[in-house]
């Protein structure tokens, strides 16, 4: 199946600094990527939808100036947590939408990266 990578896998930073997380689709082109946040023992919460070449769409309650998303190419999306605070500590997961051509509906599947554990001290 398709592979999505994330870098770094874990990061520790000081409060007030910025952290960039990369999400790459390694063997397919992803016009759409998604960023999720997962707190311990909870489900995944969609933060934003990232479309190649356009501005990201943020979910209600997610600060777009704090969580900057850039999707500059069909294989790379980045999430930058600006002026990080301890409450931003979480597990961040990206996914990429693989929409193959052919059938009316295509073979719609999302593939997930391995996640990034962010700890803000």
Residues that bind other proteins in the complex, under the rule CB under 8 A: 1, 32, 34, 38, 42-44, 46, 49, 57, 91, 93, 95, 97, 99, 104-105, 108-112, 114-115
Farthest CA pair distance, the chain: 49
Residue closer to other proteins by CB (options 18, 108) is 108
| 60 vs 87, beta carbon nearer other proteins | 60
Q: How far is the CB of 85 from other proteins (least distance, A)?
A: 23
Contact 13, 1 (CB under 8 A): no
Q: Which residue, 14 or 61, has its beta carbon nearer to other proteins?
A: 61
Task: Give strand pairing partners of 23.
Answer: 6, 77
How near is the Cβ of 5 to other proteins at its closest, in Å? Answer: 11
Rounded Cα distance between 45 and 39, Å, is 9
Q: Answer whether 91's CB lies under 8 Å from 57's CB.
A: no
């Amino acid at each position: 199946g398709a592979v999505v990578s994330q870098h770094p896998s874990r990061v520790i930073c000081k409060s007030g600094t910025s952290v960039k997380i990369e999400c790459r689709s390694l063997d397919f082109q992803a016009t759409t990527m998604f960023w999720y946040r997962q707190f311990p023992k909870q489900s995944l919460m969609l933060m934003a939808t990232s479309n190649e070449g356009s501005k990201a769409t943020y979910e209600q309650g997610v600060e777009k100036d704090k969580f900057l998303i850039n999707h500059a190419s069909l294989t790379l999306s980045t999430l930058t947590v600006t002026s990080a605070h301890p409450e931003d500590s979480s597990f961040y997961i990206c996914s990429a939408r693989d929409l193959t051509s052919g059938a009316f509906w295509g073979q719609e599947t999302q593939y997930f990266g391995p996640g990034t554990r962010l700890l803000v001290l």
